[in-house]
Amino acid sequence: MSTLGHFIDGKLLVFEDDRMGEVFDPALGSVSSHVALASKKTVNEVVEVAQRAFEEWSNSSLSQRTKVLFAFRELVNRRADDIAALITSEHGKVLSDARGEVQRGLEVVEFACGIPQLLKGDFSSQVSTAVDVYSFREPLGVCVGITPFNFPAMVPMWMFPVAIACGNSFILKPSEKDPSASLLIAQLWQEAGLPDGVFNVLNGDQEAVNALLDHPDVAAVSFVGSTPIAKYIYERASQNSKRVQALGGAKNHAIILEDADLDFVTENLTAAAFGSAGERCMAISAAIAVGDRVNDIGKMVAERASKIKVGSGTISDVEMGPVITGQSKSRIEDLITKGVDQGASALIDGRNYKVPGYEGGFFVGPTVVDEVTVEMDVYREEIFGPVLSVLHVNDVDSAIAMINANPYGNGTAIFTGSGDAARRFSRGVKVGMIGINVPIPVPMAYYSFGGWKNSLFGQSHIHGPEGVAFYTRAKVVTQRWFASHIGERASLSFPTAK
């Protein structure tokens, strides 16, 4: 059985004092490899490497950086199927879905290829006599990314293409549940010509994360994961005076109004709830039916969901794979049980789901629970599995109020034919990313991604323009050049323009 190490200073390494974790094939439910879990000593070493690499990389020209980024883009594109295969083998999602996440990550690389344009400063000529002002942005230093299991390629790619394009060095601490995609990506950076030490992969768990958060030479931390850990990362990194953005969990609602096309809604809700077995931070996990005409939406989705082919993500006609671990499967099934015990009705029930030939796999079948209320655990908890809760209200304002009372604010969607209702909804909800007849409104790479409330701690959303701002800091230069200054007297009062 293979051991997955770290990628530090251009080399794949395992250290004597690493502890070992287990990586599973979730479709089989068995251990497929071991992963090294870094000690504090290794963290000190990788930060030293990244700090040294930063000195050189931050002084590289914009055209050098752009050349590396374009080469990296080509390599990721060429090896996309290999990256997707690694994702499927450790995460379990189907290959076409894994390929889709690589594509969305690539779009951030393409955005970062435009870094010469993105880093242009401002210039004001003659703000005072013979005085000009200009501004530019400089990289921060060693930046760290701590990422979740559910998008092992895309979420890291929300971070490092922009950080590196801006002239920083980067340490990626991927999820210990599916680290292989990151290690392949590190080799592609090297092949693309990125100097060793600029991009490093450090495998590990809480011990490595804490050492990174406390290290004085780490300048900035980007985190994506569950809300309790996001809050913890935000607080600890902030206490250590680091720049930090920490994206947390979600409970994404879709509102269905009576004027929506219900066949379209059924198809799209099914895809948004059960794609990637519901393990997406933008998955729809709560559908709010508004009015009598929409009463049966739960039944329609349950009927459609019963036709979803569930199995190993490696098989070409399979549409939904397993969940990530045995603990996840138990947690999701317990929440379905609680929902039913608390009065919800399971229209399709994915508990105890078995896939022939994969009896040990971590499978949960598509589940729709109807007549859910906001007091029930199945609504209050982030399930992060293939479970759609259906709630019923009488009008759109009650639906908006329900969304706003929820502690999360990542994504939300409305299905309607009314521009007025859609506009009221998009202005009224306290949520960062909004879809109008689009159930999973993940912003394109040239916009920024981020939620509100318990879905994001910190000021900056990720990638896009806010990503460039996060990974750089500004300098403003006021300069005076003139032919001769003989006879000029300086005033001791505060400078004003002349």
CB of 438 vs ligand NAD, minimal distance in Å: 17
Q: Is 108 helix (H, G, I), strand (E, B) or coil?
A: helix
- Pick the piece of the chain touching ligand NAD (CB under 6 A) from 94-102, 203-211, 307-315, 421-429: 203-211
Q: How far apart are CA 189 and CA 105, in angstroms?
A: 14
283 in contact with ligand NAD (CB under 6 A) = no
Q: How far apart are CA 134 and CA 374, in angstroms?
A: 53
- Pick the piece of the chain touching ligand NAD (CB under 6 A) from 67-75, 125-133, 223-231, 358-366: 223-231
Q: Closest Cα to residue 249, out of 451, 399, 403, 389? A: 451
Query: In the set 182, 245, 448, 455, which binds ligand NAD (CB under 6 A)?
Result: 455
Query: In the set 222, 270, 285, 410, which binds ligand NAD (CB under 6 A)?
Result: 410
Q: Exactly one of 113, 143, 166, 281 is catalytic; which is it?
A: 281
435 in contact with ligand NAD (CB under 6 A) = no
281 in contact with ligand NAD (CB under 6 A) = yes
Question: Which residues partner with 318 through β-bridges?
Answer: none
Distances (CA, A) of 391 to 43, 70, 265, 335: 47, 47, 15, 16
48 in contact with ligand NAD (CB under 6 A) = no
8 in contact with ligand NAD (CB under 6 A) = no
Q: Which tokens sit at 377?
A: 């655990």
Question: Which residues partner with 192 through β-bridges?
Answer: none
User: Is-contact 203 38, C-beta < 8 A?
Assistant: yes
CB of 171 vs ligand NAD, minimal distance in Å: 12
In the bound state, the residue with its beta carbon closest to ligand NAD is: 225
- Pick the piece of the chain touching ligand NAD (CB under 6 A) from 225-233, 313-321, 349-357, 413-421: 225-233
CB of 189 vs ligand NAD, minimal distance in Å: 20
Catalogue the E-assigned strands of 147-264: 169-173, 199-201, 218-224, 243-247, 252-256
Q: How far apart are CA 389 and CA 71, in angstroms?
A: 45
**Closer of 330 and 352 to ligand NAD (Cβ):** 330
Contacts 24+ apart (CB under 8 A), 12-20: 12/183, 15/39, 15/41, 15/42, 17/41, 17/42, 18/42, 19/207
Query: In the set 384, 415, 425, 470, which binds ligand NAD (CB under 6 A)?
Result: 384
Query: In the set 209, 286, 332, 369, which binds ligand NAD (CB under 6 A)?
Result: 209
382 in contact with ligand NAD (CB under 6 A) = yes
For 443, which DSSP code?
Answer: P
Query: In the set 149, 189, 274, 358, which binds ligand NAD (CB under 6 A)?
Result: 149
249 in contact with ligand NAD (CB under 6 A) = yes
Q: How far apart are CA 104 and CA 146, in angstroms?
A: 19
CB of 227 vs ligand NAD, minimal distance in Å: 6
Q: Which tokens sit at 48?
A: 């030293």
Question: Would residue 143 show up in a list of annotated catalytic residues for this protein?
Answer: no
Q: How far apart are CA 262 and CA 253, in angstroms?
A: 17
- Catalytic residue list: 281
* Footprint of ligand NAD (CB under 6 A): 146-151, 155, 173, 175-176, 205-206, 209, 224-226, 229, 247-250, 281, 382, 384, 410, 451, 455
